[in-house]
């Protein structure tokens, strides 16, 4: 009998294929359980969606929305914790690229700056992952500094440009440059509204009220 899970057939597969499929299954499950976690924590007059506006999204009673990208890894560190989210992590930059594309989506009527500004100002952006968020991630460290006004907008944009120049990955270089090419006011407003949520979800609840 063939073993199939969510469209993935594991019978007769190589070890590499089975490992890859197992990671995909774990990612699906993590995303769904995260959705259930958010569903159980909804407040009055809030709404939630799954694979609609984003992996998961919520609509707050303040007329704001929260777009949540959910990323999962089966990679482990030596201490058996999930692998770190790194400065040039493809999960990080694919997530940011997805959001930049949404912000500037002409098919959704956001070809002009006013529409992009309105969208960003009503939206919070959350990267949720079982990966470990650490101070060794220079992007997250500088993002925190930007959000706390300890580095200037210009310094952060320069950092992004230097980061794009330093990577050998053409995909990541393209993702970073696409963000840098946003109108600078739109870019900074977007960056100020990014939050991360780790795998200890109950201990890392995200607050949107102060933004």
Cβ proximity of 190 and 113 under 8 Å: no
- pLDDT at site 48: 96
| SS3 call for 7 | coil
Question: Rounded to two decimals, what is the model's pTM?
Answer: 0.81
pLDDT digits (tens, 9 = 90+) for 94-106: 999 999 999 999 9
- pLDDT at site 25: 63
Q: Quick check: 40 pLDDT over 70?
A: yes
- pLDDT at site 29: 80
Q: Identify which has the larger pLDDT, 23 or 155.
A: 155
pLDDT digits (tens, 9 = 90+) for 3-22: 333 444 444 443 233 333 34
């Amino acid at each position: 009998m063939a073993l199939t899970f969510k469209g993935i057939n594991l019978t007769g597969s190589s070890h590499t294929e089975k490992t890859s499929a197992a990671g995909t299954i774990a990612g699906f499950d993590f995303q769904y359980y995260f959705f259930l976690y958010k569903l159980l924590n909804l407040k009055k007059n809030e709404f939630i969606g799954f694979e609609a506006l984003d992996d998961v999204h919520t609509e707050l009673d303040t007329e704001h929305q929260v777009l949540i990208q959910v990323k999962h890894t089966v990679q482990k560190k030596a201490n058996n914790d999930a692998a770190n989210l790194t400065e040039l992590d493809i999960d990080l930059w694919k997530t940011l690229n997805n959001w930049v594309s949404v912000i500037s989506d002409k098919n959704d009527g956001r070809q002009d700056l006013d529409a992009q500004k309105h969208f960003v100002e009503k939206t919070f952006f959350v990267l949720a992952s079982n990966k470990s968020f650490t101070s060794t991630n220079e992007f997250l460290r500088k993002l925190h500094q930007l959000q706390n006004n300890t580095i200037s907008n210009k310094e952060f944009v320069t950092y992004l440009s230097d980061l794009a120049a330093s990577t050998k990955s053409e995909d990541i270089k393209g993702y970073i440059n696409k963000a840098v090419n946003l109108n600078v006011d739109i870019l900074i407003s977007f960056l100020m509204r990014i939050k991360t949520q780790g795998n200890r979800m109950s201990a890392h609840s995200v607050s949107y009220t102060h933004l």
